[in-house]
Structure 1
Amino acid sequence: MLQSSGVAVTGVGHKLGSLVEDNETLCRNLDITPEWIIEKTGIERRYLAAPDETASGLSLAAARDAMASAGIDASQIDLIVCCTFSADYRFPALASKIHLDLGVKGGQMMDVQANCAGFVTGLTVASDRMRLDPELRNALVIGVELNSRFISRSNADAAIYHSDGAGAVVLSRIPDAGIVSSAFHTDSSNYEAVRVRGGGSTFTRPDRAFDPAIDTMELNGIATWKQAITHLPTVIRRASEKAGLNYREADFFVFHQANLRLIEYLVRKMGGDMSKTYTNVGRIGNTGAASTAIALSEAVERGRLKAGDVVIFAAVGAGFSFGASVWRWADVKAVNSDPDWVA
């Protein structure tokens, strides 16, 4: 049996932007067809935030669902980790806003910026903190993006992929379950391939006009594809080896939902089949750091994971950062219905 850490997922939740944009609508401003988008990406539509929606608002909704799923309240949360590159403000941290809005008292909060690999990174950060500090009872880990605020709808390279949404999990202490191992890798050779330069200290906005070349997302899809197919299988293998496992023995995979064709290619390259994973990118688009969390939440809702399953999370983020972690899945429903279990 895998040597599980005892820090496990006990609750999940998610929230999507309230506006739906299908390919036909998007292509009115682009020199491409809906069929081309599906052929290249598998994406049929995207969920975009309404003007009054915020990263903190979507995060709060996802967090409350995850807490209800875990059967805990704000008084039982000791750590909040928000994973995002599109927070409400440059600072303070989005996690502080969630701390305020939930009514959490004390504890620790932080934001993690690893682009689309953020949620997988944040899970490891939070679980490592819990393993080192026995006083931490429960952690709330949130992935959230409002990508649409940084994307021109006339830029096909970026607009065809990205969506808005949030996903959240609660981590708690469960015997014989939870995270087993993780592995990370960085290849910065394509640092400039996916970027938003505006708003950083090099390209601040106070003394200049809005410039779409700087203030919206620039994306090199070919570079991203090459990075992902080169390094994502490697970190999956490394995380599996640390767990004493051949990755092919895993019961289920949850990937960053960047591109359906990319996921299909990776699964084939690794000798697997799509029955051992769950995808929603075709239906909701790429929600950045939120995508792995949202895919996990939907997979749990649909009964795709069962107690004892070996689950591997894997993601790639701009920069480029790669992360994977191996988990022994807990029987969440049984745990949360046990009157003797105390979070």
Structure 2
Amino acid sequence: MQMRRALIPIVPLLGAAAVFVIMVALYLGRSLFAPVFLAVFIVSVVWPLQRAMEARLPRVLAMFLTVLATAAVVIAMASLVMWGLNRAVQWAIGNAAAFQTHYQRMDVWLQGHGFYLASEFIHNFEPRWLFGALQRLGVGLQQVASFIVIALVFVVLGLLEVDSTRQKLVRAGRADVVGACRATAAKFQRYMVIRSAVSAATGLGVWALAYAVGLDLAPEWGLIAFALNFIPFIGPLFATVLPTLFAIVQFGFAIEPVLIFIGLNLVQFLLGSYLEPRIAGRRLSISPFLVLFAVFLWSMLWGIAGAFIGVPMLIALMTFAEHHPAMRSWTSLLAGDPAERGRSD
């Protein structure tokens, strides 16, 4: 009995050590694990298309058309986003002197009104920092595109093995795992439909606002907002701050940058914080704290690709936990607001 009590404090330490080892392994093997996890996510999302084609076409041809359609969508989105970012970088380089002038004026104004901490930040501001941030964002999105290209190879293999894997699990008596996989795939599909619709609405809203105010690069800001909205919290933040900075350079310290900033926050709040949770409903309700933690955790491990796939990973973990009796109570504790979930159904 005493030995058993002595082992109890060791169990949490062993669990923490195991989690740490797993995190290190995922980080060191990100070039392999990230495409594989992304491939599983893509297979789960496009499987209904594959199954519908298999009813009319040979299996291999259906798989080829499914992968071709997926690649076409990815290439089209990546091309549009990179075009928008390149246009923004070119505009910023062409107005580098204006950037420096306006932020020096902001430094003087902040010092004159006693905002010394903010003034210190502005004083050290260099336009090259902004250019570097835009270029790093572009490089990160290119890495995501390269991950997707590698993932498509795994998608081909995954689409060919979905049925055989399901049959093996059933024969092994693991129907519970099959049920968890089906529930996870259904949530992935719902998540992507909702996220795509909200992202498209966000992009249109940003474009309309920028066009109405007269901000340069209005179509580009709409495309960038559409793409970045797939990354919760971090994406909308960049999609709000960047156009505001460019508006200050274009209009100076006038009413237009204020309108841009307020309008962008209003668009993000109405679509991301109000409309999307009500559309998602109970089946995708997750604590906002967990969503933010997942985004930062996976972005730390895998960069922008991890930030994109962080929420789907969280959805998968919680769905499998829901199908495990010992973990079911924890999923209800970590879910979103029960009152909101009840009203959304």
Of the two structures, which has the highest relative contact order with CA contacts closer than 8 Å and spacing of 6 or more? Answer: 1
Which of 1 and 2 has greater Rg?
2
TM-score scaled by length of structure 1: 0.29
Whose helix fraction is larger, Structure 1's or Structure 2's?
2
